Structure 1
Amino acid sequence: MNAAARKPATPAKTPASRAAKGSAKEGKVVLPEAEALPLPVETVVDAVRPAYWDEACADLMKRDRILRKMIPTYGPAHLVSRGDPFITLARSVVGQQISVKAAQSVWERLVDACPKLTPAQFLRAGPEKLAACGLSRRKAEYIADLADHFKAGRVHVSEWAVMDDEAVIAELTQIRGIGRWTAEMFLMFNLMRPNVLPLDDVGLINAISTNYFSGEPVTRSEAREVAANWEPWRTVATWYMWRSLDPLPVTY
């Protein structure tokens, strides 16, 4: 039986399989920003449970047998937002393609070098000083370019709250070093959009494989089919999928 014909080991009530999009081949997940990882969660002052969280959890537990068992396991834990758009994106760039531990170490050195964490301060530091904090030369240039976009007003920060998801992604991916995965993390962790499905996220794909396919490789099409049962709360379901692999919450 080929991969496209497989059904989840513990089936969710999903509709007919949708055609896979993007460059993923059958049985192989393509990760444009491969191995991009979030940083460890820190204490977030006045962290607020997203307004939709309780409703989403209740709805997901009614409709998905896996999440019905999983969600209560993690108690009151929930997604939190750091709040500052520039910092969220900068941290996301730092975390690309390196381990969580290494990313945190680099970020701490950046905080020492630019304690105000403002675009202007990062621009004054320049790529050379940023690279000296442990960033690759390319990442240092990415963060400097990100800071320049914010300082020059080339991104519509004040409008993002009312723009739809794809419009925000389209704007963010015009910035060097910001791909779709990073933009989706921004939608989830900063704007707290409830229905984001980051199919380029290796953790999500691995969690779907583990929880729905007994650990067998999963295509994007199969992951999308499972996630169809999570709408309109795919952000929440994804967050719990991550928790099933690593109980420690993360943020950006």
Structure 2
Amino acid sequence: MPVMKIERGFDIAMAARALRRNDPQLGRWMRKIGALPRDPRWTQSFDLVDALARAILYQQLSGKAAATIVGRVETAIGRAKLCAKGLAKVDDPTVRACGVSANKLLALRDLARHADQGLIPSARQLDRLTDQEIVDRLTAVRGIGRWTVEMLLMFRLGRADVFAMDDLGLRKGIQRLDELEQMPTAKQAAERAKRWAPHRTLASLYLWRVADFQG
């Protein structure tokens, strides 16, 4: 039986109505912040290996520092796309000379190995995998954690019901939303988020704004 394609993106207006109805407390913040636009990246094509390689290189670095390193790697491989074939063209010392740590180098090599073996889903395959299947497939790569995949699900694939329980910004948002003295644990945040299903992605987008709201 063929697997149905999962459309990228979701009806933001419909999800917002459901969230306001099911959680008036969040609804008040949503009205204060205003309507959120549809993310244009949901309909943009992208190379998954390139996206994961960049995610690895950006980990635990400032955006400026990571961008500098990514630029050096692009120059070293002679391509703007960090594909498996491009990474295979350069040896370890060359990659390390770009400012890539030993652990990140191992992660990049493991990503390339998975890609060479056909273990990284294509764009078409991604649209036919469930959220959990994508998490399971991609976290098998060294250096790719659940949070990284959850960000991919939210911002590139536009999946509607994703909640990154370990994200500090989301937990801070819940703390402010519920006027808690202490930031909730990851498990407590996940439990709180059940109320927003199946629209947890939009709830998350608002929670990040709640956490940073000034005024």
TM range (shorter): 0.7 to 0.9
Task: Summarize the alignment of residues 29-68 of structure 1 with structure 2, pairs less than 5 Å apart.
Answer: 50-68=9-27
- Amino acid corresponding to residue 87 of structure 1 in structure 2: D
Written as runs of structure 1 = structure 2, the 5 A alignment for 1:79-98 is 79=39, 80-81=41-42, 83-84=45-46, 85-98=48-61
**1:118-197 alignment to 2 at 5 Å?**
118-157=83-122, 158-197=124-163
Normalised TM-score (structure 1): 0.68
**Structure 2: how far apart are the matches of 1:232 and 1:176?**
30
Question: What CA deviation, in whole Å up to 9, does each residue of 1:2-60 have, x standing for no partner?
Answer: xxxxxxxxxxxxxxxxxxxxxxxxxxxxxxxxxxxxxxxxxxxxxxx933222212221
Report the aligned-residue RMSD.
Answer: 2.5
> Per-residue deviation at 1:134?
2.3
**Structure 2 CA distance for partners of 1:76 and 1:174, relative to 1, 3 Å:** closer
Query: Which one-letter code corresponds to 1:61 in the other structure?
Result: R
Give structure 2 stretches of 5+ with no counterpart. 1-7
| Structure with greater helix share of residues | 2
Q: Give the AA of the match of 1:149.
A: H
Contact 1:131/1:140 (CA < 8 Å) preserved in 2? yes
Aligned with residue 109 of structure 1, among 60, 72, 88: 72
Distance 1:233 1:207 in 2: 16
Q: What is the deviation of 1:246?
A: 4.6
Q: Is the 8 A contact 1:123 1:148 kept in 2?
A: no
The SS at the match of 2:99 is: coil
**Cα distance in 2 for residues equivalent to 1:153 and 1:183:** 18
RCO higher in 1 or 2 (8 Å CA, sep ≥ 6)?
Answer: 1
Q: Write the distance in 1 (CA, Å) between the matches of 2:108 and 2:21.
A: 43
Match of 1:231 in 2: 197
Question: Against the structure 1 CA distance between its residues 231 and 112, is the aligned structure 2 distance closer, same or farther, given a 3 Å change threshold?
Answer: same
Describe the shift of the 1:183–1:61 C-alpha distance in structure 2 as closer, same or farther (beyond 3 A).
same
CA shift for structure 1 position 127: 3.5
For structure 1, the residue ranges without an aligned partner over 5 or more in a row are 1-48, 248-252
Q: 2:167 aligns with which of 195, 201, 204?
A: 201
Q: 1:160 to 1:50 in 2, by over 3 A?
A: closer
The CA distance in 2 between the partners of 1:246 and 1:125, in whole Å, is 42
The aligned amino acid for 2:37 is A
Would the alpha carbon gap of residues 120 and 71 (structure 1) be closer, same or farther in structure 2, given more than 3 Å must change? Answer: farther
- 176 and 53 in structure 1: CA distance in 2 versus 1, 3 angstrom threshold: same
Alignment correspondent of 1:220: 186
| Aligned positions, number | 199
Q: What is the percentage of aligned positions where both structures have the same residue?
A: 31
Over 3 Å counting, the alpha-carbon distance change for 1:180 and 1:76 in structure 2 is closer
